Amino acid sequence: MSEIGMSHRGDYGDSTRSVSAVAREHAAGQPMQLGPIFAAPYQLSPEEGSESDTYARASNPGWRGLESALAALEGADYALVMGSGMSAITATLRSVLVTGDTVVVTSDGYYQVRLYANERLAPLGITVREVSTLQMGDASFADLLAASPGRVVVVAETPSNPVLDVVDLRVLADVCHRSGALLIVDNTTATPLGQRPLELGADIVVASGTKALSGHSDLLMGYVATSDGAVSQRIERERLLSGTVLGPFETWLAHRSLGTAGLRFGRQCDNALALAEMLAGHKAVRSVRYPGLRGDPSFATASGQMNRFGGLVSVELDSAQAFHSFVEASALVTAATSFGGIHTTADRRARWGDPVSAGFVRIACGIEDTADLLADIERALDA
């Protein structure tokens, strides 16, 4: 667990924030950034209990450096790294829910969160309610919270994955807190460079660092960020006991990669906006969703709370075959189900059970030159 004493520099740009987050305190003769730390047990002191680290599953210097950087980016007092984005979400839910409580999850968000809630939490006597991202912004949502048993925990994902709907986090946080509910926001698609949910009223942020923050498609990682010390301690205890930990090499890879996140994410967002604008007028595309596209249903809300609109564009093609033909004809787009890396990828979401049409495609923009990417995708759609 890392507690950040530095003030959050809101006047810095994304790349400066990213580089500053991973900077070490200046010490002549020392490396600018730590390498990987592989030890599992650490040498003990005769003064028992005085050690910073005894066993790596409890704490280690690599985690502290990465957690400090993530907390700074999210505007949090505490951050905890986990072995994956799913482990970040599940460890958090196990830490804040007990039998008799209620968890509200998005029906249009990441499907495995719904599966976990229904397959693992419901049998423990926790009520599971599924609502869409847009329903979380309805006036009737307060009534749903009031009618739910026990403590209520709301898990929002905005923009939602894969449809990219957006909920007003300031309004949602106010509704949750008026009813006594805890608000968790999955910030994977936006990243802290796109929005900072804690500053908009969320209690806890969870995210997959596998994607845009680490950005090279070479590791799995998740994290939790909060400014509530008691909540952070409960989640840290769950991490220790469950062993849902991040390995030392992945810790170093993620920390190393974080410094370039501003540059990479900026290009991904620029590519996504340009692509959305091009696809909106293409004859092979039935519909386009991107929060930064003027005319998109989410544009007004997203503009009020997001600094950048992310690297994901969702499009609807005619069929599954149209998707496969598109990928085969493209020289730059690869079929893959994760996102946030340097290469542009596309994923037909119906294959995973998302409630979308057979030709619904989530395109995750990489960092290719914008003109090259647009020309390639247009040629592939025309083929």
Q: What is residue 2's predicted lDDT score, i.e. its pLDDT?
A: 42
Q: What is residue 8's predicted lDDT score, i.e. its pLDDT?
A: 46
Which residue's entry shows tokens 């968000």? 109
Which amino acid, residue 285?
Answer: V
Peptide bond into 291 cis (omega under 30): no
Q: Which two tokens stand for residue 306?
A: 């997001």
How is the beta sheet containing 334-335 ordered, strand by strand? 287-289, 312-316, 360-364, 345-348, 334-335
Which amino acid, residue 262?
Answer: G
**CB–CB of 344/375 below 8 Å?**
no
How many angstroms separate the Cα of 268 from the Cα of each of 212, 263, 310, 359?
9, 9, 7, 23
- Sorted by where each starts, the structural domains of the chain and their CATH numbers stand as 8-258 (3.40.640.10), 261-382 (3.90.1150.10)
**CB–CB of 166/298 below 8 Å?**
yes
Q: How many Å apart are CA 194 and CA 331, to the nearest integer?
A: 29
Q: What is residue 296's predicted lDDT score, i.e. its pLDDT?
A: 98
Packing angle of the helix pair 248-258, 61-74 (nearest 10 deg)? 40
- CA torsion angle 298 300 303 304 (round to 10): -120
Packing angle of the helix pair 261-279, 14-21 (nearest 10 deg)? 150
Q: What is residue 37's predicted lDDT score, i.e. its pLDDT?
A: 87
Of 171, 172, 166, the residue nearest 184 (C-alpha): 172
Ranges of residues in the chain with a pLDDT under 70 are 1-10
The DSSP code sequence of 48-66 is TT--S-SBTTT--HHHHHH
Q: How many Å apart are CA 250 and CA 266, to the nearest integer?
A: 23
Packing angle of the helix pair 261-279, 370-382 (nearest 10 deg)? 40
Q: How many Å apart are CA 334 and CA 343, to the nearest integer?
A: 8
Q: Are strands 102-106 and 152-157 parallel, antiparallel or unpaired?
A: parallel
- CA torsion angle 373 376 378 383 (round to 10): -160
How far, in whole angstroms, is CA 32 from its chain's centroid? 28
What's the N-to-C CA distance of the chain in angstroms?
52
Q: Are strands 334-335 and 312-316 parallel, antiparallel or unpaired?
A: unpaired
- CA torsion angle 13 16 21 23 (round to 10): -170
**CB–CB of 362/336 below 8 Å?**
no
CB contact burial 28-57 (16+ within 10 A = b; e otherwise): eeeeeebeebeeeebeeeeeeeeeebbebe
